[in-house]
Structure formats: structure tokens, C-alpha cells
Amino acid sequence: MRAVLALWHREIVRFLRDRPRVTGSLLQPVIFWLLFSGALHGSYKPGGMDYGQYFFVGTLAMITLFTAIFATITVIEDRKDGFLQGVLVSPVPRASIALGKILGGASLGMLLAVIFLLLAPFAGVSLSVPSVLLGLAVLAILAIAVTGLGFTLAWLMDSTAGYHGVMMLFLMPMLLLSGAFFPMESAHPLMSWVRFVNPMTYGVGALRHALQGGPGGELAGLPSFGVCLLGTILFALVTFALSTFVVTRRSVRNAA
């Protein structure tokens, strides 16, 4: 646990000391939400709600995704700086390396999501204490899942430019086809099928149920909250298992 806490603390400190990164991470989701909600205000009402309300949940999911991309890129930087080699030759279990880096990135995603969640009244989203607590729990699981995926890809990459390209190739379609931007029930049959095998669909769905599900906890066009939550948990478990696998399989020489 010392190694996990040390790696987690290092990720938090690196983020807080990088002022441009802090500023960009805080303002980027707000700008996205303002642009999309402003452009579609009054002209598009998914599920009968204002688009700003609908996209609010999607923005929370986008925050966790983008934070995962920028947080896990430090894996490649640590390899080039020699820090990663020092960690790998230490007696620290490989799973602890993966867990510490993933928890660090997930914590940053949670921190930014909580800050954006404070803007819910301005978006016309009414929240209760139970819905906020449930939403934070879902966000934590989703943040771990996407950070684990980002860590796995970053560990296998040697170029930051290549990493960004691969992440955008995989993660942006996952976000767009998850229902974060638009409902997917009226999409093309092929796209409608893809959304059911897209793990982000269940994370966004669980988050939407938690924050906007209402008294019955159900929303049209989405799997039930239980199915969405189970899919999100499985997503997190699979990505953590993959992270541990690549850390264990790749030697110190190959990681250099």
C-alpha cells in the first residue's frame, strides 16, 4: 500500500503543480457544455428535457475520459525520464504500480467532475443528496475503468503523439456512441447495435440514471440501472486486469 499511496500522491502533486494543465482541465468541459447547450438550446429536446440538462451528464462522462487521457500519458513520460525503470526494478508488486497510477488518474477525474457537478443548478439540473452520492459512486467506478484503459494503452506505447492518436481513435467513438451527446435509440440499426457492446454506454447510462432517473429510477431508451451499473463494474474490472497483465508481462528492458 505504501507504493500505491506514493504513486497516487505523485500523480496528484504533478497535476496541481502544472497550472496550465489545471486551467485547461477545469475550463475545457465548461466550454464544451456552454457551446453545445447554447447552440442547441430550444431546438433539440432529447427526452423532453433541455439539451443543456441532457448534456450535463454527458459532460461529466467526458471529464473522466479526457482526464484519463491526460493523466495516463505520464506513463510514457515516466519511462523517458527513467522513473518507471526505477519503479520496475524495485520489490514493489507490479499490480501496485498499476493500481497507484490508476487511482491517481481516477482521483483527478473525480475531483474535476465534482467541481463541474457544483454547476448543476446553473444547468437546470435538480439534485438531491441521495442522487449526488449515487452519482459520485458511479463516477468513481467509471473513472477507474477509463483510466485503466488509458494506462494499458500508454504502457504499450512509446510515443506520446502515437498515444494521443490511438486514444482518440478508440475513446472518442466510445464517448460519441455512448449516449453522452445524443440519445442512441433512434440511431442507425448498426450504431444502435454498437452501443450495446460499448462499455461507455453503461457508464453514461448508470450516471444518467443516478442523476436524472427521477423517483422511478428509469429512463426511456436506456438499460435498467442495475444492468448499467453491472456493465460499468465489469468494465472497471476488465481494464484493471488488463493493466496488471501488461505491467507483469512487459520486462524492464522492454519498458525502456
Per-residue pLDDT of 167-214, as tens digits, reads 878 788 888 888 888 877 666 666 767 778 889 999 999 998 888 875
CA gap 85, 88 in Å, rounded? 5
pLDDT range class, residue 148, cuts 50, 70, 90: very high
CA gap 54, 71 in Å, rounded? 27
Q: Is pLDDT larger for residue 63 or for residue 223?
A: 63
Per the CB < 8 A criterion, the answer to whether 155 and 250 are in contact is yes
Q: Which of 223, 163, 166 is nearest to 199 (CA)?
A: 223
| Mean pLDDT score, 149-157 | 88
| pLDDT confidence of residue 35 | 87
| pLDDT above 60 for 33 | yes
| pLDDT confidence of residue 157 | 84
Report percent pLDDT > 90 for the chain.
18
Average pLDDT, whole number, for the chain? 83
CA gap 131, 140 in Å, rounded? 14
pLDDT range class, residue 94, cuts 50, 70, 90: confident
Q: Is pLDDT larger for residue 164 or for residue 206?
A: 206
| Mean pLDDT score, 65-91 | 81
| pLDDT above 70 for 220 | no
Question: pTM higher than 0.95, yes or no?
Answer: no
**What is the residue range of 250's domain?**
2-255
| pLDDT confidence of residue 134 | 92
| pLDDT above 60 for 216 | no
Q: What is the pLDDT of residues 227-237, one digit of tens each?
A: 999 999 999 99
| pLDDT confidence of residue 254 | 46
| pLDDT confidence of residue 173 | 85
| Mean pLDDT score, 109-126 | 86
| pLDDT confidence of residue 138 | 93
| pLDDT above 50 for 255 | no
| pLDDT confidence of residue 141 | 95
Specify the number of domains making up the chain: 1
| pLDDT confidence of residue 219 | 62
Q: Is pLDDT larger for residue 210 or for residue 83?
A: 210
Q: Is pLDDT larger for residue 50 or for residue 233?
A: 233
243's grid cell: 493493466
Q: Which of 69, 95, 132, 114 is nearest to 7 (CA)?
A: 95
- Residue 43 burial class via C-beta count within 10 angstroms: exposed 0-12, middle 13-18, buried 19 and up: exposed
